[in-house]
């Protein structure tokens, strides 16, 4: 089971990385944003995704093992720790990968693109046809990730279109990663606790929220009241 989940995570990382490269290239073309070519975007996205994905997967396993070893509530620990680790790891890896690949000769990039294309196709075929447990996992997660990657790219587009103003007030460039990370962490904690409660039968699945659900939402707002003021200060 653990192996299936690790393989599914790796395969989805490669597939989503390829998809992101295409999406970014398309958005740049539509909005007239000067940048790299589609080959550059795809190669950078897939390679940086693989490197950072392997590191974050390792951190995730460590977090799970530590939570189990010391009896910690994984619903409370996983979202903030993994989200923060993702921000710390993926952003530097993406920058370093980009700076490295833009210096390569076009022929080398085309060769790497061919390798990435074969790898992405192999990952997709393996996910769909060759491994049933992996297929069951990716059948649920891949469609969602494909949609969310588009939404996330549109969010990045807003930064790009207002880049001059953000550079003028550079502090906003500094607080964007922790701000978005904290929002994701708090929402992730809420989602995990609600899902666990429903799976354990502690929370009834109804159209209107009951008191335990409202308490979980209230706790999330309390977290926000504690963590966001120091960040903005």
Q: What is the pLDDT along the chain (233 residues), one digit of tens a residue?
A: 778 888 888 888 899 999 988 898 888 888 887 778 888 999 999 999 999 989 999 998 999 899 888 888 888 888 888 888 888 888 889 889 989 988 888 898 899 999 999 999 998 888 877 778 888 888 888 888 888 888 888 877 777 777 777 777 777 777 777 787 888 888 888 888 888 888 888 888 887 888 888 888 898 888 888 888 876 66
Q: What predicted TM-score, i.e. pTM, was given to this entire model?
A: 0.81
Identify whether residues 32 and 46 lie together within a single domain: yes
Instruction: State the total domains in the chain.
Output: 2
Identify whether residues 134 and 23 lie together within a single domain: yes
Identify whether residues 33 and 143 lie together within a single domain: yes
Identify whether residues 29 and 49 lie together within a single domain: yes
* Nearest partner of 22 among 99, 142, 86, 113, judged by Cα: 113
Last residue of a domain, one of 157, 186, 214: 157
Identify whether residues 194 and 150 lie together within a single domain: no
pLDDT of residue 46: 92
Identify whether residues 153 and 173 lie together within a single domain: no
Burial of residue 219, with CB atoms counted within 10 A of its CB: 0-12 exposed, 13-18 middle, 19 or more buried: middle
Please give the distance of CA 5 from its chain centroid, rounded to a whole number. 16
Identify whether residues 82 and 181 lie together within a single domain: no
Whole-number Cα distances in Å, 213 to 24, 77, 220: 38, 19, 11
Count of other CB atoms within 10 angstroms of residue 205: 8
Show the domain range for 226.
162-233
Last residue of a domain, one of 110, 142, 157: 157
Last residue of a domain, one of 117, 134, 157: 157
Identify whether residues 194 and 181 lie together within a single domain: yes
Identify whether residues 139 and 205 lie together within a single domain: no
Identify whether residues 79 and 185 lie together within a single domain: no
* Nearest partner of 22 among 95, 120, 140, 159, judged by Cα: 120
């Amino acid at each position: 089971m653990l192996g299936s989940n690790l393989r599914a995570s790796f395969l989805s990382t490669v597939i989503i990385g390829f998809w992101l490269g295409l999406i970014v290239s398309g958005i740049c073309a539509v909005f007239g944003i000067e940048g790299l070519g589609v080959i550059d975007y795809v190669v950078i996205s897939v390679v940086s995704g693989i490197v950072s994905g392997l590191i974050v997967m390792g951190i995730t396993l460590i977090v799970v093992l530590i939570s189990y070893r010391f009896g910690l509530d994984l619903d409370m620990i996983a979202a903030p720790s993994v989200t923060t680790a993702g921000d710390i790891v993926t952003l530097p890896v993406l920058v370093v990968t980009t700076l490295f690949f833009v210096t390569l000769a076009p022929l080398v990039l085309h060769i790497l693109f061919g390798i990435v294309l074969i790898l992405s196709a192999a990952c997709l075929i393996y996910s769909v046809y060759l491994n049933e447990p992996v297929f069951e996992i990716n059948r649920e997660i891949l469609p969602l990730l494909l949609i969310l990657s588009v939404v996330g790219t549109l969010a990045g587009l807003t930064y790009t279109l207002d880049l001059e103003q953000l550079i003028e007030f550079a502090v906003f460039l500094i607080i964007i990663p922790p701000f978005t990370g904290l929002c994701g962490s708090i929402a992730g904690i809420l989602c995990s606790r609600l899902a666990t409660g429903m799976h354990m039968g502690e929370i009834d699945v109804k159209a209107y929220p009951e008191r335990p659900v409202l308490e979980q939402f209230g706790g999330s707002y309390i977290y926000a009241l504690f963590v966001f003021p120091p960040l903005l200060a």
